[in-house]
Amino acid sequence: MDLNPLRPAARLTGLLALCQLLAGCGSTGYYWQALGGHLDLMRQRRPIDAVVADAATPADLRAILRQVQDMRRFAVDALALPDNGSYRSYVALDRPYVIWNVFAAPPLSTTPREWCFPIAGCVAYRGYFRRADADALAARLREDGDDSYVGGVPAYSTLGWMDDPVLSTYVRWPQPELARLLFHELSHQVAYAAGDTAFNEAFATAVEEEGVARWIAAQGRIDLQDRWQQSQQRRAGFLQLVLGVQQDLTALYASAASDADKRAGKLERLARMRQDYQARKAEWGGFAGYDHWFDEGVNNAQLASVAVYTALVPAFRVLLHEQDGDLPRFYAQVRRLAAASADARHAALQAALSRQPASAPAPGPTAASAAATPPAAAPAH
């Protein structure tokens, strides 16, 4: 099952404002809900070793957590991701998502609104630990005339400030999806550019793709490879559809058409998008994994929530390819970009896109990197 089209494992902006709170730099309700929600999560952590050893732990969860430990070792040994306390503890939550992110965009723009914080910089969403709080903000934004969208998020990262736990919100996902989320989250501890959501998320997505491809190769299981390829093909089809509509609407909104014509064109294009999706579902044999996304009622904010995670991924694939798949060298290059000015950073990424070969490098180990990838322990199932 393709459980989440965006895989957002998004940064919780309020969490990065935690340092502000501890320094006495903020006291708004938003900051306090972020601080309280996170500390509550931290209080519930149990070391995975202890959960596995507990006789009361269900056998299936025990097996899954052993898989997580294998994936965590692979992340360090094969992907050069941080070796620290993150994702070595477990929390069982009583809800389907850990936070809910709110996205917003003007009615005639596909550029998302941003919220800015002294430490985190500006980000294209606002996260809440309670769905009701996210819905309330989304409603206020709609009242002010914006398009808004609330998306559930299974995981978030403190960027290495704290030891983030594994959560029940995603632990029972299919193995490749679980691995991709862990690799994505850990990559945010490697490089982070304050205020540049598109850069941060595209880098993490590129690492997750490469990481899962190498992890599957190390398992030596054809069934995992086949399921992963099918999932990737469906995801690529979904993204092609969504990003195509976003580009069409961006051109429409920038045109000389009247606002009334732009609004009418928006409705027509979004309606056609739904028809196109039904055609893709038929090609996929009726696969309905993205139905929930369309059921929300697509608008500019929802389109922006996809683009912010994916638009720059091809540039990072090119950079990794140019490093012959050497992840430590790739990480060093990305850290240099993160430290540069936003203009210089994005100029470098656009230059990378211009060097993209006609057949773009696909995620997966190069010959050199595959040979250097150590085998991982076989998953429990």
Please give the Cα distance from 105 to 145 (Å, whole number). 9
Q: Indicate whether 379 belongs to any domain.
A: no
- CA pair distance 105, 299, nearest whole angstrom: 9
pLDDT at 34: 85
Task: Tell me what percent of the residues of the chain surpass a pLDDT of 90.
Answer: 67
**Residue 200 confidence (pLDDT):** 92
pLDDT, position 279: 95
Q: Say what the pLDDT of residue 104 is.
A: 96
220 pLDDT band, cuts 50/70/90, is confident
Domain-embedded: residue 142? yes
Please, which residues have CB within 8 angstroms of residue 285's CB and are 6 or more apart in sequence?
none
- Identify the band that residue 372 occupies on the pLDDT scale cut at 50, 70 and 90: very low
pLDDT in tens, 34-84: 888 988 999 999 999 999 999 999 999 999 999 999 999 999 999 999 999
pLDDT digits over 118-150, tens only? 666 777 888 899 999 999 999 999 999 999 999
In a domain, 126, yes or no: yes
Residue 91 lies in a domain: yes
**What is the arithmetic mean of pLDDT over 215-231?**
89
Per residue in 264-286, pLDDT (tens digit) is: 999 999 999 999 999 999 999 99
pTM assigned to the model: 0.82
- DSSP letter string over 205-223? HHHHHHHHHHHHHHHT-HH
| Residue 378 forms part of a structural domain | no
Distance CA 85, CA 47 (A): 10
Strand runs labelled E in the chain: 9-11, 46-47, 89-91, 99-105, 115-117, 121-123, 126-128, 147-153, 155-157, 166-167
Domain membership of residue 82 (yes or no) is: yes
Q: What is the pLDDT of residue 173?
A: 93
Q: Does residue 111 or residue 18 have the better pLDDT? A: 111
Interatomic CA distance for residues 60 and 219, integer angstroms: 20
- The reported pLDDT for the residue numbered 358 is 62
pLDDT at 119: 61
Query: Residue 17 is part of which domain span?
Result: 9-372
What is the structure's pLDDT at 6? 40
pLDDT in tens, 338-352: 999 999 999 999 999
d(CA 94, CA 129): 12
Number of compact structural domains in the chain: 1
User: Does 274 reside within a domain?
Assistant: yes
* pLDDT tens, position by position, 73-103: 999 999 999 999 999 999 999 999 999 999 9
| pLDDT given for residue 198 in this prediction | 87
Segment 158-201, tens digit of pLDDT: 888 889 999 999 999 999 999 999 999 999 999 999 888 889 99
What region does 87 belong to: left with phi over 0, alpha with psi -120 to 50, or beta? left
Domain annotation covers residue 64: yes
